[in-house]
Amino acid sequence: PWSLASESSPCNLHAHITLSHLIARYRSGQTHAVSLLHQLAQTLQFRLEIKETVTTANVNGFFFAFCVLVDGVKYKTGMGTTKKVARLKAAELALQDLLPRLEKEKADLPKVSDIQDDMPICGIPSILCRKTPTNLQIPNAIKDQLTKLMNSQPQFSTCAATVAAFVIQTSSGCEVVAIGTGNYSVTDTMSINGRVVHDSHAVVTARRSLMRFFYQHLLMFFSKTTHLVEKSIFQHNENNSNLLSLKTGIAFHLYVNQVPSGAAQMPSKMSLNPGSISTWQMSNEMGLHVSVEGKVFSVFSTALKHSSTKVFSVSPMDKITQWQVLGYQGALLSHFIEPVYIQSILIGDLAAGDIRGMEMTLNHRTEGITAQLPLFYCMMRPHISTVPAVASSTADNGLVTCCFNWSEGDCSIELVDGLTGRTTEESPFKSGSALASRLCKAAMLHRFKLVAKEANRQDLLATTSYKEAKTMAKSYQEAKNLLRTYLMQQGFGSWPVKPMVSDNFNI
């Protein structure tokens, strides 16, 4: 149903270069079979399913069985004494059939040396070419959306110094679905009622806005109203799972107008010498980081210990690392949908010199974890590139402590004070006199209960706290624990844990 050689556009030529790199990594044992299948599905835009099935005939003993489906085409059944082993075997069997076909079609393409210099071909694997249509469409779409928002509220334009946005790509093109700005975390004590947004860094704000977008589309799906169900980005799976999945042909991209703070902001002398990973793998630069009162510290830093009584948040870069393994949907949404990963990260700074550091941070620290993860989870490698910025990030503007958020369907932005974690009096949108943000945990729990009601999930409606609802997402929690243990074992430090009392609330 899909073909590499169906078109000869520059984007497809770039896809072939990326495919060569992905296949080479798998052949050399650097990439897990399940992870490669997910990467191929994103690169080639086919529908991938790895579903549990029945064992083949004449098999003695107790075995689990899985099979891979690519756009509905079923491949050989893989069996094993555990689900992980069976899933891996099924992926390997599928690749035995798929890879020869991919390599054959790749061999029929023109060589890179035969392509004219002005063609947008990128010579560095895993980095998107700067001139691909998608790379130009995304920042243009974000700039247009920001312009619309700021034209109606020009007094808040200085809050857009640090911007992050999520863009959905379909056959119709690219559309901005979530925007967030900001560069601060709360400085006061932890909230015990879920009404305070503790981390207001742009990428975190944008991601929570993306979660609101997911809840909106889940409500559309469970409405049972035909035109709303058709409009929803989600669909039923054909496997034995009760989880919904994204419809075929849908991909998400993340835009940030500067390299997120944390391990990605490595000294240039380190990023220029990627072969020296072993010498700095255990250093403060590659380890986990936290943000305290606008400053970033390594978890190994002695200065952090002196700040242990203050409220902190995990660095944006470490959160992105986590989302690339656990998905961007979070624990609560994991009750309804499969993990949602992004295909690319676009940095709106053509002069950025730390992209190599970001690549190594995202890809090196969690390399090899996929084999340990539960069903549906994997370490997803995003394409990383630079594109023209859509907003300035001057030092003066960066001092603004307020941030705003917006999600598709919102009539106006919401302005939040990053130091207090509450909506400001001047905000165009206010949810009530308590000034609790629409991004706070309590608001997310409210949406969770609405979806649980529409989905007739009595088990979820019976939960007595935000913490309990998150804990019940067993596969997500298993994957999260495996990730944090893996990072610690690899020498990157222990994941900072906030007091759980902050999650012991209900609505």
- Say what the alpha-carbon torsion angle 108, 109, 114, 120 is, to the nearest 10 degrees: -170
Q: Quick one: 155 and 214 in the same domain?
A: yes
Q: Quick one: 38 and 180 in the same domain?
A: no
Write out the residue range of the structural domain in which residue 353 sits: 136-266+278-490
State which of 104, 122, 144 marks the end of a domain.
104
Contacts of residue 18, Cβ cutoff 8 Å, sequence gap at least 6 = 43, 125, 126, 383
pLDDT tens, position by position, 343-352:
899 998 765 5
Residue 113 falls inside a structural domain:
no
Q: Quick one: 78 and 148 in the same domain?
A: no
d(Cα 208, Cα 251) in Å, to the nearest integer?
18
Give residue 166's identity as a one-letter amino acid code. Answer: F
pTM: 0.77
Task: Dig out the tokens for 123 from the structure.
Answer: 């010579």
Predicted confidence (pLDDT) at residue 390 exceeds the cutoff of 60:
yes
Q: Quick one: 373 and 484 in the same domain?
A: yes
Q: Long-range contacts of range 247-250, CB-CB < 8 Å, 24 or more positions apart?
A: 248/46, 248/47, 248/71, 249/45, 249/170, 249/171, 250/168, 250/169, 250/170
| Distance from the Cα of residue 165 to its chain's centroid | 12
Q: Report pLDDT for 118.
A: 31
Residue 497 falls inside a structural domain:
no
Range of weakest confidence among 190-204, 387-401, 481-495:
387-401
Per-residue b or e along 22-60, where b marks 16 or more CB atoms closer than 10 Å to that residue's CB: bbebbeeeebbbbbbbbbbbbbbbbbbbbbbbeeeeeee
Query: How would residue 472 be classed by pLDDT, with cut points 50, 70 and 90?
Result: very high
Q: Quick one: 371 and 451 in the same domain?
A: yes
Element (H, E) at 103: helix 83-107
Tell me the HSE value of 382 on the side-chain side, using a 13 A CA sphere: 29
Residue 2 falls inside a structural domain:
no
Number of folded domains that form the chain? 2
Mean residue pLDDT across the chain: 81
pLDDT tens, position by position, 226-238:
999 999 999 997 6
Q: Quick one: 93 and 225 in the same domain?
A: no
Per-residue pLDDT averaged across 134-156, rounded? 88
Residue 159 falls inside a structural domain:
yes
Residue 258's nearest CA partner among 406, 421, 394, 400 is 394
Query: How would residue 264 be classed by pLDDT, with cut points 50, 70 and 90?
Result: low
Predicted confidence (pLDDT) at residue 261 exceeds the cutoff of 50:
yes
d(Cα 31, Cα 459) in Å, to the nearest integer?
38
- Which CATH number is 64's domain given? 3.30.160.20
pLDDT tens, position by position, 43-68:
777 778 888 876 654 455 567 888 88
Residue 126 falls inside a structural domain:
no
d(Cα 280, Cα 298) in Å, to the nearest integer?
13
d(Cα 262, Cα 298) in Å, to the nearest integer?
8
Q: Quick one: 249 and 344 in the same domain?
A: yes
